[in-house]
Structure 1
Amino acid sequence: MISLHSMRRKLWTYLLAVILFCLVLSYCNIPVTSRAHQAEGVSAALGDDDTQSVWRRLQPYHPVSSMRPLPTGKPLSLPKVQRRFGKESATACKVRLERQAVVKDTFTRCWNSYRARAWMSDELTPVSGSRRDPFGGWGATLVDSLDTLWIMGMRHEFDEAAAAAVNITFDETTPLGEINVFETNIRYLGGFLSAYDLSGDKRLLRKAREVGDMLYVAFDTPNRMPITRWDLHAAARGEDQVAHENVLVAEMGTFTLEFFRLSLLTGDGKWFDAAQRIMDVFYEQQNTTQLPGMWPIVVNAKKQQFNQHNDFTLGAMADSLFEYLPKTHALLGGLLPMYREMYEAAMHTAAKYNLFRPMLPDEKNVLVSGMVGTSRTESGTVTELRPDGQHLVCFAGGMFALGGKLTQNDDHVGLGEKLVDGCVWTYQAMPLAIMPETFNMLPCPNRDHCAWDERKWKEEVLKKAGEQASDLDKADVVIAQKRLPKGFTSIGDTRYILRPEAIESVFVLYRITGRTDLLESAWAMFQAIESNTRTELANSALNDVTVAKDPSMSDSMESFWMGETLKYFYLIFSEPDLVSLDEYVFNTEAHPLKRLLP
């Protein structure tokens, strides 16, 4: 028989255990969510001691009074993204693996040159063999390449690089007067998180937290909006700071993937809170802008006015804000419906106003994404399409295709296909088979049918050149001087800077549709880029892709060449289950992060 004293003792023991558990849970700030990602946060937090970080010791001027909680519940079963690929023929497999090996050889050559001549610096200069430090001097190429090394199976090189990367000190000793918080987030934080998600090396997660602690200080402003071009020296001295009035919208809205993933992995919700505060403002003001559904290029972070300016684009300066909407929906397993809602509203507007069918000599039915300007009149808001094409906006094809699969919107997948086809067409139309940075085309009156009109094209060429549109005899001179292929009315920036966006969307669309012509397009793109950018050491950006041969080089190789461009070329020639889009989302620097799955 159990005594009353014994029963009381057991009861008190049980209550004490419950109290201790609750205290530990509160102290660690671990959200009570589904078992899968609760356990992930607990295990990752064990042994993670960053108390010596200069950024963690700083006392905030504007502490958060109430944290936004991490989303709870079981992640949803979102629609499958990737096509179910059938058995590959022996011939197709042989060709694919041969191409993959060539891509890997190019990466290995670049990596070895970086290791020999610019180790721990941000960039190798691929012609002169020197080094540059435009991103804080924290080894941008090293960190950006960690996950590429892992994906390519270069384990020895990965181990060496990881050992070096964990010794980088992210503090105020950088020689830069200010850092770009956006670039630091996508390259360094994204790079460490991805390398951890792929390898499980907890040293890399600790490094991610160190970067996250530094970036979090940029959010210490009266309204908790970040300073995107940040004087971290002043912040380290403990000076007060205020968000800026004119901020590029991409630099404000590109934190969710990295910050949310860091909070999920560590169990510390401060990064989720920081990024979610920004997105709450975007959400609240989405339908109050001059082009409802989209946000303008420039926003006022100090006053939290995200709806005042009048230029709208999916391209440069806005791109990744829109890119992250469907990807955040996927990362969180649909636990915050606002991201799907924002994506659908934004793309409804972009599809209507920004996308246009260009008039082409072969009358191919493709799409390009341009800029829209708005003006207010007595009769309402007037919109004007500026048919400005950009290499950077080629990401949009993959975004539409991915978003379409996640939201079961076949129309969006179709738009994605036409956007990707437009970028492939632009590559093929240029003398070097490489797309320039920026260009202009002539929009068709509608998307259904668009016959080629040479006279109309030449008139538009003359207008862009500042000449009389009626002087058609002069059009041929302008076309020859500016080396304009048919279909292009001007080429504003003739450079190619080793950009990844076109192959990124070709890769995403291939994984979604299985279109084999995309493999051939990817291979043609790679061959053109490799043959024209190759130096004795690595690969260099080009000054002018409108020349027929021997393009001049700018002696620049940004970290995204090895972190993004070559990664996507490698992955499109890999088996589809390598970094599956049903398991990962890529941040805007091509760093794959694990999705929450049911």
Structure 2
Amino acid sequence: MIIVIFIAGAIEASQSSLLKIWKKKVADISVFETNIRFIGGLLAAYALTGDKMYVQKATDVANILLPAFETPTGIPYALVNPVSGRSHNWDWTNGGFSILSEFGSLQLEFDYLSQLTQNFIYSSKVSRIREVVLSVKTDDGLYPNYLHPKSGKWGPKHVSVGALGDSFYEYLLKSWIRSGKNDTVYKEMYDLALKSIKKYLLRYSRQNHLAYFIELKGKREVHKMDHLACFIVGLLALEALNENDIKRRSDTLKLAEEIANTCHESYIRTATGIGPESFRFTNDIEGMAISDKEKYYILRPEVIEGWFYLWRVTGKNKYREWCWVAAKNIEKYCRTTGGYSGIKNVYNAEVVHDDVQQSFVIAETFKYLYLTFSNDSIMPLNEWVFNTEAHAFPIIT
């Protein structure tokens, strides 16, 4: 919320909206969510204002998370108690595994915090994570979604660019970019990962040749894409923007646009013009949700985020048009008297709201819409990199 206000130019108004930090809370907190939302938001607020108070608050929050890293491998647990420091993983991971997208999405914030404070305990924590990931062999260059923080071994082979995997790959590329392209290890990891993803996960539908990425569960292929997985459109566009090789840039951008079209199809095939939580590809179904558990929309940003990046990179007006249509549909079907709400079935124009306004609708969905219709000189992509919650950090020059 703070960062949206700053980017929109209403800096003075933000003074009444300063983020409050609760140091005492009985419930456990998510290391990942606290990092990307709170630490990321506070560091971005500093980057945009120069007010060192935000750095101090980010430091306070980061220190609360540090006990989660006290594992035999240095791979952090998912949850930490802010008072006792007791840490553990989600019960549902079966076996005490840490999640790839969670422990792999910390370095942008922790490295930036160390840069600002000159306290390198934070960067050392994420450097250790990278060492462990590099030391553990993977099958076919694909990273499973689970790694055990005690043994340092991969869990069951479940590979996805959607839930549980997504932002790990995002942070590989963005960490290289934010370093001023000096940290080439992250770029090498990204290149190897994307090569394997394209080789083993990329598929095209039989009906209309729509590009999509499958999930792997062991040897079983799951022909499903999450709304979350549409983030890869923006990632590929950002890769293309920073690619010097002309052919590779062209190929990467082509794939980004193909996946963007698939995500667009998932939107226009619904009654609301808003895409579902996930959509499938079978002999009979193309780009649509099957079960009721997949038909909801909780104000997610990833599809709009991808179109924003493609607008910036290609200048093709259709991506702005797609964003505008999506914005109007969100306004039509998700707006309520008290804000914005998710909807339970995007295939029914008589919407039923879930009565929840997710914080990322402001931090991400609306921010990317705002930037899509703003001048490209606002948050230029050669000067800023966005974390996975769309908080902006300056690129090192």
- TM-score, structure 2 length as denominator? 0.93
SS, match of residue 162 in structure 2:
coil
1:312 is aligned to 159
2:186 is aligned to 339
How far apart are residue 404 of structure 1 and its match? Answer: 2.8
1:391 is aligned to 227
Q: Report if the CA contact (8 A) 2:145-2:155 is conserved.
A: no
Distance 1:505 1:242 in 2: 34
1:576 is aligned to 376
2:316 is aligned to 515
How far apart are residue 204 of structure 1 and its match? Answer: 1.1
What amino acid does structure 2 have at the position aligned with 1:367? A
Deviation readout 1:222-281 (Å, 9 max, x if unpaired): 43331212233332xxx6x67883111111111010001111111111111001100111
1:431 is aligned to 271
What amino acid does structure 1 have at the position aligned with 2:142? M
Q: Report if the CA contact (8 A) 2:163-2:229 is conserved.
A: yes
How far apart are residue 218 of structure 1 and its match? Answer: 2.0
How far apart are residue 434 of structure 1 and its match? Answer: 0.5
1:103 is aligned to none
2:67 is aligned to 217
How far apart are residue 300 of structure 1 and its match? Answer: 0.7
Distance 2:83 2:106 in 1: 22
1:196 is aligned to 46
How many positions carry a matched residue from both structures?
387
Give yes or no for the alignment of 1:227 onto 2:77. Answer: yes
What amino acid does structure 2 have at the position aligned with 1:289? T
Q: Report if the CA contact (8 A) 1:391-1:436 is conserved.
A: yes
Give yes or no for the alignment of 1:257 onto 2:108. Answer: yes
2:302 is aligned to 501
How far apart are residue 339 of structure 1 and its match? Answer: 0.5
Report 1:5-44 matches (<5 A). none
Q: Report if the CA contact (8 A) 1:170-1:211 is conserved.
A: no
Alignment equivalent of 2:340, drawn from 539, 543, 567: 539
Deviation readout 1:274-295 (Å, 9 max, x if unpaired): 011001111222xx223x2221
Distance 1:533 1:303 in 2: 45
SS, match of residue 568 in structure 1:
helix
Structure 2 unaligned regions, length at least 5: 90-94
Deviation readout 1:530-555 (Å, 9 max, x if unpaired): 100010121101111111x2200010
What amino acid does structure 1 have at the position aligned with 2:141? G
Q: Report if the CA contact (8 A) 2:299-2:342 is conserved.
A: yes
SS, match of residue 430 in structure 1:
coil
Give yes or no for the alignment of 1:407 onto 2:243. Answer: yes
Deviation readout 1:37-61 (Å, 9 max, x if unpaired): xxxxxxxxxxxxxxxxxxxxxxxxx
Distance 1:223 1:579 in 2: 37
Q: Report if the CA contact (8 A) 1:283-1:338 is conserved.
A: no
Distance 1:513 1:385 in 2: 33
Distance 1:265 1:370 in 2: 40
Question: 1:415–1:553: structure 2 CA closer, same or farther, 3 Å change rule?
Answer: same
Distance 2:240 2:131 in 1: 23
How far apart are residue 489 of structure 1 and its match? Answer: 7.0
Question: 1:556–1:242: structure 2 CA closer, same or farther, 3 Å change rule?
Answer: closer
1:6 is aligned to none
Give yes or no for the alignment of 1:371 onto 2:215. Answer: yes
SS, match of residue 69 in structure 2:
coil
Q: Report if the CA contact (8 A) 1:340-1:407 is conserved.
A: no
How far apart are residue 405 of structure 1 and its match? Answer: 2.8
RMSD: 1.8
Distance 1:488 1:208 in 2: 41
2:367 is aligned to 567
SS, match of residue 368 in structure 1:
strand
Distance 1:169 1:432 in 2: 38
Alignment equivalent of 1:205, drawn from 41, 49, 55: 55
How far apart are residue 311 of structure 1 and its match? Answer: 1.1
2:327 is aligned to 526
Distance 2:193 2:366 in 1: 30
1:552 is aligned to 352
Deviation readout 1:182-226 (Å, 9 max, x if unpaired): 000000000001111111111111111111221223223343331
Q: Report if the CA contact (8 A) 2:311-2:320 is conserved.
A: yes
Which structure has the greater CA radius of gyration?
1
What amino acid does structure 1 have at the position aligned with 2:376? P
SS, match of residue 218 in structure 2:
strand
What amino acid does structure 1 have at the position aligned with 2:184? P
1:147 is aligned to 3
Deviation readout 1:498-533 (Å, 9 max, x if unpaired): 000011111011111111111111101111111000
2:388 is aligned to 588
Distance 1:551 1:303 in 2: 47
What amino acid does structure 2 have at the position aligned with 1:594? P
